[in-house]
């Protein structure tokens, strides 16, 4: 007998769905992928909380990205890969939107002449890491990939539970500063919370285990 299909994940809170679909304009495919399921399930979640689902047409999906922002980033010599990670979307949608907007698309492999700011690259790399993304999904941590200061990205910082800290700091190997970029909590408070939770704090030695591992496996050697 074929193995049974796994049960779909539980629906995220309605406020989170509204943030992703209405405010950030993510397509249902991106929302489904974020929670490890398919677009059909994501659409069902939206309808269950009375969120009107946009028609599934190519042009509706094209409007999911801000063309002006996309054009500006691309003309600043960001690659499609960097833009997709930065905007929390797919490379395919980035390229298709550029094409529809009449922006000449560079051939694959073109290196950017100017790189995005250091912290922006770090945030993009964190959200693009599958292990980090899995922890965020498991602990229902909202994703805030767009640039800006911590206060604007996280008007309400993410509560620091012992389980979340253990997953991000001890298991994934992030630093307190990197956890700050994903939760909005000041890194000093993160260190205090680690001590309260009984999680051994590493001595400051430069790169975090996560960043060291990223570089060893072909990550950006000039990385964040």
Model confidence pLDDT, tens digit, residues 56-89? 544 444 446 778 888 887 877 777 777 776 666 7
List the one residue out of 168, 213, 212, 172 whose CA is nearest residue 194.
Answer: 168
Give kind and range of the element (H or E) at residue 187: helix 187-196
pTM as predicted = 0.49
- Residues 87 and 145 sit within 8 Å (Cβ to Cβ): yes
Mean pLDDT within 205-211: 81
Mean pLDDT within 94-107: 81
List the one residue out of 88, 97, 80 whose CA is nearest residue 33.
Answer: 88
At 174, give phi and psi (nearest 5°).
-75, 155
Q: Which residues contact 204 (CB under 8 A, 6 or more apart)?
A: none
Which position has the token pair 């229902």?
140
Neighbours of 185 (CB within 10 A): 21
How far apart, in whole angstroms, are the C-alpha atoms of residue 39 and residue 44? 9
Model confidence pLDDT, tens digit, residues 121-174? 888 889 888 999 999 999 999 888 877 777 778 888 899 999 999 999 999 999
Domain definitions of the chain by residue range: 14-60, 65-115, 118-216
How far apart, in whole angstroms, are the C-alpha atoms of residue 87 and residue 20? 12
Question: Quick one: how far is CA 210 from the chain centroid?
Answer: 16
Which tokens in the block code for residue 214? 């990223």
List the one residue out of 20, 46, 16 whose CA is nearest residue 158.
Answer: 16
Neighbours of 52 (CB within 10 A): 8
């Amino acid at each position: 007998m074929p193995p049974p299909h796994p049960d779909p994940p539980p629906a995220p809170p309605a406020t989170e769905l509204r943030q992703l679909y209405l405010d950030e304009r993510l397509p249902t495919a991106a929302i489904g992928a974020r929670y490890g399921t398919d677009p059909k399930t994501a659409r069902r979640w939206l309808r269950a909380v009375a969120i009107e689902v946009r028609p599934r047409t190519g042009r509706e999906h094209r409007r999911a990205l801000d063309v002006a922002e996309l054009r500006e980033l691309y003309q600043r010599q960001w690659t499609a890969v960097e833009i997709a990670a930065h905007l929390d979307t797919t490379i395919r949608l980035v390229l298709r939107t550029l094409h529809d907007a009449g922006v000449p698309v560079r051939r694959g492999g073109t290196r950017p002449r100017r790189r995005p700011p250091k912290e922006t690259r770090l945030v993009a790399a964190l959200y693009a890491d599958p292990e980090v993304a899995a922890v965020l999904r498991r602990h229902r941590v909202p994703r805030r990939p767009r640039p800006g200061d911590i206060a604007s990205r996280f008007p309400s910082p993410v509560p620091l539970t012992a389980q979340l800290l253990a997953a991000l700091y001890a298991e994934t190997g992030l630093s307190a500063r990197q956890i700050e970029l994903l939760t909005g909590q000041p890194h000093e408070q993160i260190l205090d919370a680690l001590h309260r939770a009984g999680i051994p704090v590493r001595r400051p030695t430069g790169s975090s285990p996560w960043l060291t591992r990223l570089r060893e496996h072909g990550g950006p050697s000039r990385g964040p």
